[in-house]
Amino acid sequence: MSVPPRAVQLNEANAFLKEHPEVLYVDLLIADMNGVVRGKRIERTSLHKVYEKGINLPASLFALDINGSTVESTGLGLDIGDADRICYPIPGTLSNEPWQKRPTAQLLMTMHEIEGEPFFADPREVLRQVVSKFTDMGLTICAAFELEFYLIDQENVNGRPQPPRSPISGKRPQSTQVYLIDDLDEYADCLQDILEGAKEQGIPADAIVKESAPAQFEVNLHHVADPLKACDYAVLLKRLIKNIAYDHEMDTTFMAKPYPGQAGNGLHVHISVLDKDGNNIFTSEDPEQNAALRHAVGGVLETLPASMAFLCPNVNSYRRFGAQFYVPNAPSWGLDNRTVALRVPTGSPDAVRIEHRVAGADANPYLMMAAVLAGVHHGLTNQIEPGEPIEGNSYEQLEQSLPNNLRDALRELDDSEILNKYIDPKYIDIFVACKESELEEFEHSISDLEYNWYLHTV
């Protein structure tokens, strides 16, 4: 991937600064392995320099655990002297931050080697490598995310979250009330500011729906014919939601399972494949008879166990799973069936697509997309058949077979011959090292439940 010509980049900067003379600062953003946004803040006068020369950040940015500490076993820290790489702007991502009191803009970046080549450990580059295989076939991926989150109170109870008080009624929501419009009204100012902020930032968020738990909502992003851009939007949308909620004296969480006994937060993605003329190759009056669709589904199902570490990358991720919460726990597919891992909506022949329903909102969108597209490509090129679609409740027909904990998921990823063909094995080693480090720390901690059970009883 070549860096866009300097003149093109400078034109973008000049046009933005001319249109927004009030902007004082620019946040330079880059998403790490966990999808956490990191970076630098600069004054507006330095923006041209960033477009001309980029900015330096250490390669160890992509070896950080969830707490922001470098995992030295990745080899990206002290082993290389914590050396810098260079980050360049991603064209089209310069926009205002509508929540800031001091006018501030933001710009998404991606990391390169000093010589200019993309840096292999940037999750965006991991995805780009997979996407390039479709480009070589004359195919384009069209994708759209659905992102779930909870609004929560800024004050926790004994370190645990609680729903925020409604700005209208002053009450905390307690019931599920899926799709209830009245619950949208309770938090209307915050939710409407999210949609308006997304529009201001060029993020194609076109709807918010009430989800399956108190103060849980879902934002739908419109489909775009660029999976990298779709992931950029998802990363920026999370940041927008968090900051808009702060403005309304609330907090948010994208944690996979913040409340026992309530639905978790998912990250669904809708995927179709376009040919060189822009036609959806999944288009069909009878999707079961579409060979391209079947093969794509077959490939994703075959690679699903090995993909779980990217789809569910944290210890908490695996607490989402359960039939009552519509989180599939076995490789399965079906037509317009929300109990399966891969749902094929059947509303319109030219809108036939795959809805991938397994990942949690805590997943890194770039890595999640890379894993899913690796499966699609594997299926298309090897003509993998998916078996018969599931009709009815898949939970009653299939036993759980996907990894149900992070350690098993990491083993599946590490041992996968297929994913190692699509994702640089060096990157898989780094990802596994980081997650094993987190897992080791988690397993050495002692929970309150252990003290309650064992301190005085054994």
Each residue's pLDDT tens digit in the chain (458 positions)? 444 556 667 889 999 999 999 999 999 999 999 999 999 999 999 999 999 999 999 999 999 999 999 999 999 999 999 999 999 999 999 999 999 999 999 999 999 999 999 999 999 999 999 999 999 999 999 999 999 999 999 998 888 999 999 888 888 877 665 545 667 788 889 999 999 999 999 999 988 988 778 899 999 999 999 999 999 999 999 999 999 999 999 999 999 999 998 999 999 999 999 999 999 999 999 999 999 999 999 999 999 999 999 999 999 999 999 767 789 999 999 999 999 999 999 889 999 999 999 999 999 999 999 999 999 999 999 999 999 999 999 999 999 999 999 999 999 999 999 999 999 999 999 999 999 999 999 999 999 999 999 999 99
Classify residue 301 as exposed, middle or buried by CB count within 10 Å of its CB (0-12, 13-18, 19+). buried
**Per DSSP, which regions of 128-274 are E strands?**
140-152, 205-210, 216-221, 251-253, 267-274
Question: Would you state the structure tokens that stand for residue 363, as one six-digit string?
Answer: 């997943």
Please give the backbone phi and psi of residue 274, each rounded to the nearest 5 degrees, phi first.
-105, 140
State the pLDDT at residue 181: 62
Classify residue 274 as exposed, middle or buried by CB count within 10 Å of its CB (0-12, 13-18, 19+). middle
Question: Would you state the structure tokens that stand for residue 287, as one six-digit string?
Answer: 């999707």
Per DSSP, 302 falls in state H
Residue 112 · residue 118 · CB < 8 Å: yes
For the CA atoms of 301, 307, 313, 316, the dihedral, rounded to the nearest 10 degrees, stands at 30
State the pLDDT at residue 101: 95
State the pLDDT at residue 176: 62
Q: 263: closest CA among 213, 317, 214?
A: 213
**pTM score, whole prediction:** 0.95
State the pLDDT at residue 276: 97
CA atoms of 150 and 217, how far apart (whole Å): 6
b (16+ CB within 10 A) / e for 354-372: bbbbbbbbbbbbbbbbbbb
Residue 110: CB atoms within 10 A of its CB come to 23
